[in-house]
Amino acid sequence: MEQRPGLHRIQAPLGERFVALYLLTGPRGALLFDTGVEESVSGTLKPYLGEIGLDPAEIRWVISSHCDFDHTGGNGALRELAPDAQFLAGRADVPMTEDLDLLITGRYGEFAAPDGFDDPPEATREIRRSTRLVTVDQPLDGGEVFDLGGGRRVEVISAPGHSPGHLALWDPTNNALLISDAVLGESVLTAQGEPIFPPTYRDTVAYTDTITRLRAYDADLLLTAHYPVYEGDEVAAFLHRSAAYVDRIDAVVEQQLGAGEELTSLELIRRCAPHLGPWTEAAAEYLIFPMTGNLERLVAAGRLREGTRDGVRTWRWTT
């Protein structure tokens, strides 16, 4: 639906969840922020364009917020729908936005060797089934401005943390931030608003810096990929909860490691999970993304020591 003039939120099914795509329109053409998965384009986006009377040829730019399959999986279908559109992505995410095998092994399989954690085979099969990637025409670094015409200009914001090249958009005409997965609250939610798995930011330092950067825009509309629409005071509240959750992980980790015990990542997660969210045991293992970011930050600060046990990474408190 059109949230504000020329700013459309297009919500597509994604299993138990949804993924929101964003269409920004102006006299000089339209910009699409994310494509979801393959079915998002044919099953949701294309019918929506028909409802609002927008020719797909008017889509001039397609920006992938980041490399995850549920944001880029529809790129192949979108290229067929709008063959003249230019595809863009954050520079650091370009390789995984173009190469599905690299995405699967380098992002989703990052913890297989050091920690013994990986996606189940059925999840990988679904990623392959629902994803068609394309070549990125131009990398973005943040600071670029897209002129949609009629005084409508949209700024690209570098927003790393969830991924190295994550991007957000600032729409000053509507005082709106479009952040996709740049900030992730206290839990990812189902379509009914129930917690389903942890917030999977990865680089804690970059993530908290991004939250600080986004706060400075003082937006009164915050648009994400998997959460409700936040307006007014809800914007600052969501950003505050997200930052506070980072500190909560630190506190729980210190409680579990403070006595000097050496634990693997999965051992630590099983100790910490009951204090961090209401997810199932299998879903809680995805804490490996944010917790590794926090643990790496604590190692850099000299508060933790990283080691190994039987070839698996371990963590021990040093102070």
Q: Is the pLDDT of residue 180 over 80?
A: yes
What is d(CA 120, CA 304) in angstroms, rounded to the nearest whole number?
Answer: 30
Q: Are 89 and 99 in contact (CB under 8 A)?
A: no
Which residue bears the tokens 């129930």? 194
What is d(CA 61, CA 25) in angstroms, rounded to the nearest whole number?
Answer: 11
pLDDT of 259 = 85
DSSP state of 187: S
Q: Is the pLDDT of residue 319 over 80?
A: no
Delimit the CATH 1.10.10.10 region(s) of the chain.
Answer: 246-317
Of 34, 23, 9, 19, give the one whose Cα is nearest residue 154. 23
For 2-242, give the CATH class.
Answer: alpha beta
Work out the average pLDDT over 285-302: 98
Work out the average pLDDT over 122-148: 98
Q: Between 3.30.9.10, 1.10.10.10, 3.10.20.740, 2.40.70.10, what CATH number should domain 246-317 receive?
A: 1.10.10.10
Q: Which amino acid, residue 187?
A: S
pLDDT of 258 = 86
219-263 pLDDT, tens digit each: 999 999 999 999 999 999 999 999 999 999 999 999 999 888 999
Token pair in block for residue 39 = 């079915």
Percent pLDDT > 70 in the chain is 100
List, edge to edge, every strand of the sheet that includes 304-309. 263-264, 312-317, 304-309
DSSP state of 204: H
Delimit the CATH 3.60.15.10 region(s) of the chain.
Answer: 2-242
Quote the radius of gyration of the chain (alpha carbons, Å).
Answer: 20
DSSP 26-94: ETTEEEEE---SHHHIIIIIHHHHHHHT--GGGEEEEEESSS-HHHHTTHHHHHHHSTTPEEEEEGGGH
Q: For the beta carbon of residue 51, count every other beta carbon within 10 angstroms.
A: 8
Which residue bears the tokens 């994550």? 166
Work out the average pLDDT over 59-76: 98
Residue 105 CB contacts under 8 Å (≥ 6 apart), including other chains: none
Claim: this prediction has a pTM higher than 0.85: yes
Q: Helices 233-257 and 265-272, interaxial angle, to 10°? A: 120
